[in-house]
């Protein structure tokens, strides 16, 4: 009788252990399934993010290929600088202060015009305005001809719109060409340090200084 009772007890114990083992296996299986679902969800999220990043990069590449909206294509630029007396005062307080204007020419070269309101840091500072030009990186640099070969003319316009001061130079001359090669380059802009005299007061209408820029390309 004892042997039979012991056997029954052992059988019940084995059954109980088997039930516990099955429950543990079931729980582990459920955990694995849950983790698998989480991994699939994370993989899906990563794929969605990768697609979004790819679309953003495509848009950025499209933007980089497009020319700047605010940069006109022209060989005849009129640059009006308002409140010019304030700009001159800023230049007096900061010897490196300049005004800049960028634009695309008709052939796709991007030019930067740099104006020193009271002159650069040379001997003509506080005597004459200085003005310079150079090529800068643009949207068409890989598809246009280099160096830029053109005559650049600067004019200062007075109250009546008449041309007051004048400078002209050929970008293809040896002394200037490094400022007009394919950018980026390390050359400084080329121009003149005595563009307009500062000794004549303010001959400009409504405190507005106007620069006229003409680009004359060499005919092919």
pLDDT at 45: 77
For CA atoms 172, 175, 180, 181, give the dihedral sign. positive
Assess if residue 71 is contained within a domain. Answer: no
C-beta of residue 83 within 8 angstroms of C-beta of residue 89: no
Residue ranges, the chain, pLDDT below 50: 1-2, 63-69
The CATH number given to whatever domain includes residue 104 is 2.60.210.10
pLDDT at 58: 67
Instruction: Look at residues 46, 66, 86 and tell me which one is the last residue of a structural domain.
Output: 66
**100 and 209 share one domain:** yes
C-beta of residue 102 within 8 angstroms of C-beta of residue 71: yes
C-beta of residue 212 within 8 angstroms of C-beta of residue 157: yes
**189 and 165 share one domain:** yes
**108 and 181 share one domain:** yes
**14 and 36 share one domain:** yes
**163 and 125 share one domain:** yes
Q: The whole model's pTM is what?
A: 0.66
Beta strand extents in the chain (DSSP E only): 76-81, 99-104, 110-116, 128-135, 150-157, 163-170, 190-197, 209-217
Q: Residue 56 CB: number of other CB atoms within 10 A? A: 10
pLDDT at 69: 43
- Alpha carbon distance 67, 145 (integer Å): 17
**83 and 54 share one domain:** no
Residue span of the structural domain in which 196 resides: 76-217
pLDDT, tens digit, for every residue of 178-213?
999 999 999 889 999 999 888 866 667 788 999 999
Instruction: Look at residues 66, 100, 118 and tell me which one is the last residue of a structural domain.
Output: 66
Residue 194: phi and psi, rounded to 5, are: -135, 60
Q: What is the count of structural domains for the chain?
A: 2
Enter the DSSP assignment of 116.
E
């Amino acid at each position: 009788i004892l042997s039979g009772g012991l056997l029954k007890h052992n059988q019940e114990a084995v059954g109980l252990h088997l039930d516990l083992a099955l429950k543990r296996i079931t729980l582990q299986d459920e955990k694995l399934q849950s983790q698998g679902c989480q991994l699939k969800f994370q993989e899906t999220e990563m794929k969605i993010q990768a697609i979004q990043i790819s679309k953003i990069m495509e848009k950025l590449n499209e933007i980089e290929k497009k020319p700047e909206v605010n940069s006109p294509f022209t060989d005849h630029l009129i640059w009006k600088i308002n409140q010019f007396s304030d700009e001159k005062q800023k230049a007096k307080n900061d010897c490196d202060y300049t005004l800049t204007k960028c634009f695309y020419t008709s052939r796709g070269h991007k030019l930067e015009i740099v104006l020193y309101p009271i002159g650069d840091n040379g001997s003509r500072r506080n005597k004459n305005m200085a003005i310079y030009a150079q090529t800068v990186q643009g949207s068409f640099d890989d598809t246009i001809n280099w160096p830029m070969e053109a005559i650049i003319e600067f004019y200062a316009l007075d109250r009546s719109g008449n041309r007051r001061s004048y400078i002209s130079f050929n970008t293809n001359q040896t002394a200037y060409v490094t400022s007009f090669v394919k950018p980026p380059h390390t050359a400084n802009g080329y121009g003149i340090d005595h563009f307009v005299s500062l000794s004549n007061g303010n001959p400009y209408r409504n405190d507005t200084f106007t620069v006229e820029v003409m680009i004359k390309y060499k005919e092919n």
